[in-house]
Structure 1
């Protein structure tokens, strides 16, 4: 009954909204048109159209173009001077145009202004966060917080997105997120680690899409993030160089160059960094008897000293074979090596909390990673605007080699134990895709495409205890994934109403083979993923939408591997090779409104996920000096319902002050029981029925001070949340940054402090009746200070994005 009431309220809300939208003045006329770049014929998004009364400099009406370069502006009948402008392009003016009725001005071409391109004096900038009805676009170059940082730092500064202390990414509180790089799934084996290795300086922008259409990969029930790497786009030779240093000891050097002519565009990004990331953690545990009386106490502390050296580079060429055909090839290479010293102390106490003894485990881990990728793209454009065919390919390999030596000593014995773990992983990934777009009629469009994603991951994990192989923790896991997908979409626009219907079919063939135990598992399934999007333009300043999509989450990597590290010998993570994929149905109601100084976007969303992943803790039956070893494993747990409300706003009260804020509230309900047989052959049923609410908020302020100094402050709070086996506590964190332009705006000095109050920690309370009650804190990286210097040549500091001949680059080469 409660759910029915909620649905009725939503229907009433949107009925009222759409009804109100029908009202409006009837004395105005509608002026439409399209703005293109003169040479490439590409649409110019965000071009400004201004209407003025002749001989009066004050504008009376205006607007901006959409992603297709189109504008639709209502004005009163009369005679006007019309200005069409775009940064780095020559002004186009139409003088004394007599507009008595609704008029289509046709195609308006703008030509690049070579003088503006060569003078580094432009101070106007794109908003750091661009809010659109179907997505948010975060422009990395304008964010002082991430200078000298990594992609993980970039994502943690984006509205709606959060990165926890272990590097896991969530969107609106949902960790079921697909992360793409240039529209393609990352070929990294451990995506969380990869995001911590790629420098922020290599990123152009990030697109946040909470409810993707059928054109996108069906992976990611919570939505997707598309990380777009920098590619040069200005005429001639230009570039940027960045040098950074920091404390704890961090050094970085990177550069971006491009040379663009009429026939081709060469671009490259190169970077090297040396980063120290000290961290710490502790867990205080009270182990219980069956009647919940105290058995003993173990207080575990952990200090991490991480050092990583990494190189990241790419080189590419875009060849304009003709006015309608382009061919782009890109080569990417990443290599890193790191050392992680993990020092664990376990202080043991008896039931009366009297000290017993201390155990010390020192885990010295070495890691090496190498990633190679080649990507190619053909784009053919036909005579009709928007009619095109794209063919893409991506071929990559990734090798991760990790070995660790664990030294185990205790104060109650003279015996010294040695554990040696080896974890070698090799992954290959090949992607093929073809997309075809055909506009027809007036306001209609047809799309169809194919995508093949083929990957293999081999994980060789072994453990030696005092030189003897431990078969319980030694195995070779082979994971093979073959996914073939086809999709089609049909879109139509009738006056102010537009609709997009899509259907995607994916055929999955998954092999999970444990070679050491000869345990072979093959899972084949095929699924349809429908989507539907409806949008109504209430006015040129506001729109409302409702959308639906079906998504999938496939378990991979650590989630499936039943063998993990032994840095702690009493708290062990074990993967589950029998995990099934989870399926989500998502509905999103959106509304956007723009004023002169404010853009406001809000949404209500509902997600239902079946076979959702949940982490369950249980006793293994083994003990270390009387302390039970606890195992944490992922399981498929019945159904999860997630509902929430979110709003994001951009506000510029003054030219020198920009504010961006985001607020998200959600309710998460899980329903299901976990049944297992313990080491005493008792059937244990754990009830995971749980209802939790949480919220998060973020505020970013950027102030332009005198003497070309910028000051940016970022504060965020993630609220507490309950789960079936405990509770995570709230986290507050803040960053601050300053920058100063020098050398006639060709250079910029930036200083930032990440985690000003050293408070970005995961804090957890856990309770397993009859087993353990514990409290833990974990801080992956401590407070950091960074100083960077940026030098630009033949490149404006804050340029508006130029159009690209390959329009797919704006949206990512492999979307959908």
Structure 2
């Protein structure tokens, strides 16, 4: 294991090269702005088309910008917060200058100008001074017909963090201590990057992948709890679509963010873009280093104490009584990411986009597991055949891992006319390679007993082709149709060398090819009649899955499995506008939960000789019918979005934990299709801004659950006789998830934020999961006349974020506690920049509309 100094030196040599290049490039660029819009009118309150509106920043001229209004007198552009002189000029109108304070994104309202010939005090141009208007900030959370959108720009606590930190604050989403993401209490969440599966989030990467995406590169997160037929049908809990930043600003723009924290945590990321004429270029990249310490405690009490008769015993079986384990796993991670691409407008109605990305993370870890056993050992002595032993076992596990992902995307967007008839074509090629190695030495009472060496290598290759077509039918109707092809090839190569006498070791030396191909077609129609809107959709997915499993056990023949599915997935979305910004939403969709690829590999991963994961090649998909009834009301100071939901899953996948031999302390975990799962509840999200300096955002998820399913397995009892045991997954109850964010603006440049969450417990016949809560703190201050921001945050102030679970079985009871991350704090510095070159303004109406259309047509970035 490298010491910390060596690791930091390695990180410095490898990461700071990229960091220096990005930082040097950043000096040529300028500040990342927020959206500001408004309208120019005359004294009769009529719109003034094609007026020139110039915003001159009083403190920093390089932050100035200009725009032309459209035919309706409307304009929009990107500005940094600050004091501005706004100059408005138009043919046949007098020049007007108005002073405004732009404090954030939003609509600054109407600016009025006078026509030529209107009398003034001195017969000259009137200059209006001293009018200060503070723009209303956009709300971080909004509701649309088929999704909810979260804007993390106002999330102070996650500044300088990762995607995992941002997700902890997204309404309807929860993140467990081990990085597991769930929506409304269910973990089957589908992740998309810019609308498609991505190598940024590999198949088996888990929390490492979530931490490799910087929070500063995320523009917004779309929460789709009930996806329409346009989306792929997998992800029964819903879809999280991560939209990465792109720029609509003319000229050079960007930002650089650096972070330092403890546990040791460093990162430097840059977001750069350049847009001029028909070209839009961008590059996002950076790197980071983190250390982490995970704690696990488990206590197991065995109930099997009926000792076998002496004459029936063959050998010297051990009868376990009690076991206590505690472990600390320290990991050291480095991650780098770089994405770049461009959009080029071939014409006013056609554009192409090309994007490439590479992401890598690597590290090593050291886990020490202390095990204190109590068990009876048969001695053969007729007067005292059983002796109570208390051996102490130490397992020292040294691991290394690395992951490298590539992705290339190309797209074509074409507008047939100005009425909304569009065609979008895209192709994505992805490759993800992962290596996980472990050297494990186990000793009993200080004497080496077992040595395990594991080597796991996996490669995932993906091709995704899409075609989407939109056809407006009248002013209020639209027909959408499309096709999608997914081809996924996964290969797993496992090697295990062990000195233990586990007869299944040879099965874990295997090679597996897993290939799945999906062909999907969809059509959906949306329309509106008065205040009533509807969208009807149908998706057909044809699935083909092939598994070829070969191991080195001569007693286990190769396994070849092929599965074919053809399923229809309808969706219905209804809406009724009670009044302006006051809407009722009703929807239904059918979804599928396909097994993860390594769940279907018979022996995918050998961890140690006491905890073994066993795949299930016969695992089938689970199907979910989901219903929602929601209400949304938006006002100037508050928004409320309550949603009643019900979700019914059939053939639900559950994890069976069992002992195949009650004389041993070896636990097996295996996924099984067991029974049904029903979820129902109220998901309430709200924002409230009682004062300009005080904002509240919260979410409440009150849900009931009912699970059914009984698993059977065969185990050897203490006499060595096969017995059939049953594990009951039936259970019902009620649980809660609460989240509350409060933001205080102490002055124009300083804000603080408190985040709190609570997750209630859940209980079934075989498991009791206790509740959990945590509190986070963040502070942010704007510096350098708006060019910079310094942020400080503390994650888990009281160090309470831990998961406590009790498991019950016929022959044992186990309590466990797990804390994946202890309390952490960090400080980050953001610098926003823009090159001070003169920006050419559009001369004609056609140019303005063309630029706006190009923004909307940009491909994934």
When the two structures are superposed, what TM-score results if normalisation uses the length of structure 2? 0.79
Cα distance between partner residues in 2 of 1:471 and 1:139: 50
Deviation digits for residues 357-410 of structure 1, max 9, x if unmatched? Answer: 210111111001100000011100122332100001100111001111001111
Quote the Cα distance in structure 2 between the aligned partners of 1:172 and 1:277.
28
| Deviation of 1:292 (Å) | 12
Correspondence for 1:687 among 714, 728, 739: 728
**Which secondary structure does the structure 2 equivalent of 1:685 belong to?**
strand
Residue of structure 2 aligned with 1:629, choices 660, 666, 674:
666
CA contact (8 A) 1:496 1:537 kept: yes
Shift of 1:666: 1.1
Cα 1:207–1:314, aligned 2, differ >3 Å: closer, same or farther?
A: same
Q: Deviations over 1:324-363 (max 9, x none)?
A: 0110100000112110211111011358998812101111
SS at the partner of 1:145?
coil
CA distance in 2, matches of 1:255, 1:295: 56
Mapped partners of 1:290, 1:504: distance in 2: 56
Query: How has the CA–CA distance of structure 1 residues 50 and 569 changed in structure 2, closer, same or farther, with 3 Å as cutoff?
Result: farther
Q: Residue 587 of structure 2 corresponds to which residue in structure 1?
A: 547
CA distance, structure 2, for counterparts of residue 249 and residue 724 of structure 1:
41
Q: For 2:652 and 2:646, locate their aligned partners in 1 and report how far apart those are by CA, in whole Å.
A: 15
Q: Alpha-carbon deviations, 1:174-197, whole Å to 9, x = none?
A: 112111111111331325231122
| In 1: Cα distance, 2:306 partner to 2:177 partner | 35
The structure having more radius of gyration, on CA atoms, is 2
In 2: Cα distance, 1:115 partner to 1:295 partner: 69
What secondary structure, in the 3-state scheme, does the structure 2 residue paired with 1:152 have? Answer: helix
Structure 2 counterpart of 1:346, from 357, 371, 375: 371
Matched, 1:654 2:691: yes
**Larger strand fraction of residues:** 1
Match of residue 428 from structure 2: 394
Q: In the alignment, does 2:394 pair up with 1:360? A: yes
Shift of 1:46: 9.6
Any residues of structure 2 matched to 1:121-200 within 5 Å, and which?
Answer: 122-124=102-104, 125-187=137-199, 188-192=202-206, 193-200=208-215
1:47 offset after TM fit, Å? 5.9
TM-score (norm 1): 0.83
> Does the aligned pair in 1 maintain the 2:767–2:808 contact within 8 Å?
yes
1:210–1:804 Cα change, 3 Å: farther
Residue in structure 1 matched with residue 495 of structure 2 by the alignment: 462
CA deviation after TM superposition for structure 1 residue 89, in Å:
8.9
Once residues 724 and 806 of structure 1 are traced to their aligned partners in structure 2, the CA distance between those partners, rounded to angstroms, is 54
Instruction: Select 2:352's aligned residue among 316, 327, 346.
Output: 327
1:268-283 correspondence to structure 2 within 5 Å: 268-283=283-298
Q: Is the 8 A contact 1:726 1:764 kept in 2?
A: yes
**Contact in 1 for aligned 2:630/2:643 (Cα 8 Å):** yes
Equivalent pair of 1:133/1:592 in contact (CA under 8 Å): no
Shift of 1:310: 0.9
Pick closer, same or farther for the CA change 1:203–1:116 going to 2, 3 Å.
closer
- Report the counterpart of residue 512 of structure 2 in structure 1: 477
RMSD of equivalent CA atoms: 3.2
| Aligned residue in 1 for 2:313 | none
Secondary structure class of the residue paired with 2:391: strand
Say if 2:595 and 2:620, in contact at 8 Å, map to a contact too. yes
Give, in whole Å, the separation in 1 of the partners of 2:735 and 2:524: 36
Q: Distance in 2 between matches of 1:653 and 1:633?
A: 51
Tell me the equivalent position of 1:67: none
Residues 201-238 of structure 1 show CA distances to partners (whole Å, capped at 9, x for unaligned) of 22111100111110011111111100011122211001
- Which residue does the alignment assign to 2:554? none
Determine the C-alpha separation between the residues in 2 that align with 1:503 and 1:166: 36
Query: Offset of 1:165 from its aligned partner?
Result: 1.9
Ranges in structure 2 where 5+ consecutive residues have no aligned partner: 1-33, 57-69, 85-100, 105-136, 309-318, 377-385, 552-556, 837-850
Alignment equivalent of 1:705, drawn from 728, 746, 754: 746
Segment drifting more, 509-518 vs 284-293? 284-293
Asked if the contact 2:630/2:641 (under 8 Å) is kept, the reply is yes
Question: CA separation of 1:116/1:143 partners in 2, compared to 1, >3 Å: closer, same or farther?
Answer: closer
User: Following TM superposition, by how much is the alpha carbon of 1:465 offset from its aligned partner in structure 2, in angstroms?
Assistant: 0.9
Q: Is the 8 A contact 1:148 1:788 kept in 2?
A: yes
* Cα distance change, pair 380–608 in 1 and its aligned pair in 2 (3 A): same
Aligned partners of 1:744, 1:343: CA distance in 2, in Å? Answer: 50
The whole-number CA distance in structure 2 between the counterparts of 1:568 and 1:90 is: 65
Alignment of 1:807 with 2:807, yes or no, is no
CA distance, structure 1, for counterparts of residue 452 and residue 436 of structure 2? 14
| CA 675–296 in structure 1, closer or farther in 2 if over 3 Å, else same | closer
Cα separation, 2, equivalents of 1:83 and 1:532: 42
Q: How many pairs were matched up?
A: 721
Provide, for residues 752-800 of structure 1, a one-character-per-residue CA deviation record: whole Å limited to 9, x for no partner. 011111111111011112x21111111111111111000001299xxxx
